[in-house]
Structure 1
Amino acid sequence: MENPLTASWGLSISDADFAKLKRGVRPRDMDDRWIFKAMTDEELADEATTDKELTDEELMDEELMDEATTDETLTDKATLDLDQGGNISIRRSWTNKELYRLAVKPSEGGTSAKIEAITWEQIQGDRISEEQAKIDAVILCKHILKCDFAAAPDYDRLLFSAFPRSAAVDSTTVQNGTN
């Protein structure tokens, strides 16, 4: 991230949602626009020192490796790692550019897991506020990973920062029955 900001969050999530976050998602084809990748602090530090974007060839190699990995393997790995926290990197698939990072902590003694903090790229065309970054992260997790995030508000997908504000306002007005 070129212009990151970090804010505490404290969003409680279920262990099932935590497993989905840890499992992540890789693009299957060119229509898939997002990557969710679980990373340790060490992996983030290594990535920061190399500070490079993957080439098309490297992205293709990663995709081929991912195709060889079965969903069962990913599920087992996610289950094994549920006792460890870490970071969930949310990236654009074509550029591998990280736009959001969630710091997650596993459940302790039967309580729910937590997203303790969010780090986001504050300049994505327009400046992204803390509130908007959290809205974006919730929308992405709910719609791509199918997370429940019961403690988070149920945001309309049109509130995602990539949509023009006028489209979101017009859509909300029509949906609420007012013109």
Structure 2
Amino acid sequence: MVIPFETPPVTAQWGRTITYEDYNKMLQGYQPDSIDDKWFVKTNKPKDAQGNIVVHAYWGWSSHELIALTVTAGDPSKTDTKEWATITQIAWRKVWPGSEEEMSEAKAKRNGVGFCNHLLKCSLEEEDGEEDEEEDEKEDNHDDKDERKTD
């Protein structure tokens, strides 16, 4: 049993290009190998001639939806191009189970790339700026800790 977003998710446009090979890996989804693996990925099969899909990532034994990627397929006659399909939108649960912090758009996109690479065996590279934003977040958290020490 999978549980879709319980409240309306946060959404953002993306424009992230992917290869035909990665599109096909997303299309396959992911079934956990053991009970210890809490991730499950289900992809809605294309319902139109364009081949557009939505990749849903679920987490936990009750399979709560955490991320959804909307993917627009490319030209079927040009599958050898590096930028074949596009992740046009990402939707994510604002606060993940076990966390009290709201997830930023940048972190949701990093998590989306991470689950695609780790679970689906895609080869998505981090986008320019994703590493910088992560460093900024670490610095902000470090500054917050310093402020608490001086209070």
Would the alpha carbon gap of residues 41 and 16 (structure 1) be closer, same or farther in structure 2, given more than 3 Å must change?
A: closer
Hey, what does 1:60 align to over in structure 2? Answer: none
Deviation string 1:11-49 (CA, Å, 9 cap, x unpaired) is 00001100010100111211212111012699xxxxxxx
Would the alpha carbon gap of residues 14 and 87 (structure 1) be closer, same or farther in structure 2, given more than 3 Å must change?
A: same
Hey, what does 1:47 align to over in structure 2? Answer: none
CA contact (8 A) 1:33 1:94 kept: yes
1:140 is paired with a residue of what secondary structure?
helix
| Higher RCO structure, 1 or 2 (CA under 8 Å, sep 6+) | 1
1:8 is paired with a residue of what secondary structure?
strand
CA contact (8 A) 1:82 1:106 kept: no
Work out whether 1:39 is the aligned partner of 2:44.
Answer: yes
Cα distance in 2, alignment partners of residues 16 and 144 from structure 1: 15
Cα distance in 2, alignment partners of residues 119 and 3 from structure 1: 9
Which structure 2 residue ranges, 5 or more long, are not aligned? 143-151
Match for 1:101 among 68, 76, 89?
68
4+ residue runs over 3 A deviation: 150-153
Deviation string 1:26-78 (CA, Å, 9 cap, x unpaired) is 11211212111012699xxxxxxxxxxxxxxxxxxxxxxxxxxxxxxxxxxxx
Map 1:23-102; keep pairs closer than 5 Å. 23-39=28-44, 83-102=50-69
Would the alpha carbon gap of residues 24 and 9 (structure 1) be closer, same or farther in structure 2, given more than 3 Å must change?
A: same
Cα distance in 1, alignment partners of residues 119 and 46 from structure 2: 24
Which structure 1 residue ranges, 5 or more long, are not aligned? 43-80, 160-164, 170-179
- Letter aligned with residue 119 of structure 2: I
Cα distance in 1, alignment partners of residues 49 and 120 from structure 2: 17
CA RMSD of aligned residues (A): 3.1
- % same residue: 28
Cα distance in 2, alignment partners of residues 82 and 15 from structure 1: 16
Structure 1 residue 6: deviation in Å? 0.7
2:107 is paired with a residue of what secondary structure?
helix
1:87 is paired with a residue of what secondary structure?
strand
Hey, what does 1:145 align to over in structure 2? Answer: 120
CA contact (8 A) 1:37 1:88 kept: yes
Structure-2-length-normalised TM-score: 0.69
Work out whether 1:121 is the aligned partner of 2:93.
Answer: yes
Paired positions, count: 123
